[in-house]
Amino acid sequence: MRAEIGIIGGTGIYDSDAFENIREISVDTPFGKPSDNIIIGDFAGKSVAFLPRHGRGHVYSPSKVPYRANIYALKKLGVERIISVAAVGSLKEEIRPLDIVIPDQIFDRTKHREDTFFEDIVIHVGMAEPFCNEMREITARVLEGLNLRYHDRGVYVCIEGPQFSTKAESNVYRKLGFDIIGMTALPEAKLAREAEICYITIATVTDYDVWKDVEVDVKTVLENAAKNEENVKRVLKELIPIIPEERGCECGDALKFAITTARDKIGEDVREKLGIFLNKYL
């Protein structure tokens, strides 16, 4: 079973009407089971894998999502591009609820997550540009064409959660120039880079976090989330068909100069567990 494109997000963005030949599969990895079974479907001649990040029924908190198993499972299916969909809060006046942000940078404020595949071997991948710029650019074009309100860059601060920020934290993040706040882009972006998979986040804004003194009512937030889901479905329908077959970015060579451990010191057990990432270099 193969797929070229992986979509990680809520169950709401999976639109069965748009896809043909739908199958559901269970995938095992050396890092355990992914969040849920993976649904694979065909759309516009492309094979697309859907993985609900928090599991169906929303059972994994942001700290407990099996991120390594999720990225490994998609790699195993042959996925070269991951489109991550995530709800965020806005830290800027001009980034309004219902806007979409395609972040270009991340700031890590997570604390309790396993964020590398490479514990038994030394590999330092570059993270200067944490998102795939080719995919960001294509996605921005789609947003422009659909006439949706969007921002083609932004700094995503990833907090541990599950609690939301205090006002002091939210104001400090604003002073530091961060644009949006969420709980899931890390370690996904780091793991995708280690797996040499392109990664972008389509961040949908639900509210203004807590810095702005506005009454946040749950009803509005839920209504916004539902509208955001509809917008994301429209974006995916336009985006998937125009993703070029060949990658024009550097994501696929992330390990080229990154493996520090001497090849003859890499044991059989490591080769077996991580071969999916390392084989082309060993």
**Nearest distance from C-beta of residue 60 to Zn ion, angstroms:** 27
Rounded CA-CA distance 73/57 in Å is 20
Is 36 a catalytic site residue? no
- Under the binding rule (CB under 5 A), the answer on residue 249 touching Zn ion is yes
The answer to whether the CB of 159 falls within 8 A of the CB of 183 is: yes
Which residue, among 114, 100, 127, 93, has the nearest Cα to 214 in the 3D structure? 93
**C-beta closer to Zn ion: residue 7 or 39:** 7
- Under the binding rule (CB under 5 A), the answer on residue 127 touching Zn ion is no
Is 213 a catalytic site residue? no
Rounded CA-CA distance 179/171 in Å is 11
The answer to whether the CB of 67 falls within 8 A of the CB of 192 is: no
Pick the binder of Zn ion from 5, 101, 125, 132 (CB under 5 A): 132
Rounded CA-CA distance 282/273 in Å is 14
**C-beta closer to Zn ion: residue 40 or 132:** 132
**Nearest distance from C-beta of residue 100 to Zn ion, angstroms:** 19
Helix (H) or strand (E) holding 81: strand 81-90
Chain mean position to CA 140: 16
**Nearest distance from C-beta of residue 135 to Zn ion, angstroms:** 6
- Under the binding rule (CB under 5 A), the answer on residue 251 touching Zn ion is yes
Helix (H) or strand (E) holding 76: helix 67-76
**C-beta closer to Zn ion: residue 100 or 198:** 198
- Under the binding rule (CB under 5 A), the answer on residue 82 touching Zn ion is no
**Nearest distance from C-beta of residue 248 to Zn ion, angstroms:** 8
**Total interface residues for Zn ion by CB under 5 A:** 4
Candidate ranges 10-18, 67-75, 124-132, 155-163; the one touching Zn ion (CB under 5 A): 124-132
Catalytic residue among 209, 213, 217, 269: 209
Q: Cis bond leading into 187, ω under 30°? A: yes
**Nearest distance from C-beta of residue 129 to Zn ion, angstroms:** 9
x/- mask, Zn ion, residues 192-211, rule CB under 5 A, reads ------x-------------
Tokens, residue 79: 């996925």
Which residue, among 229, 43, 6, 3, has the nearest Cα to 135 in the 3D structure? 6
User: What does the binding site for Zn ion look like in residue numbers (CB under 5 A)?
Assistant: 132, 198, 249, 251
Give the active site residues. 207, 209
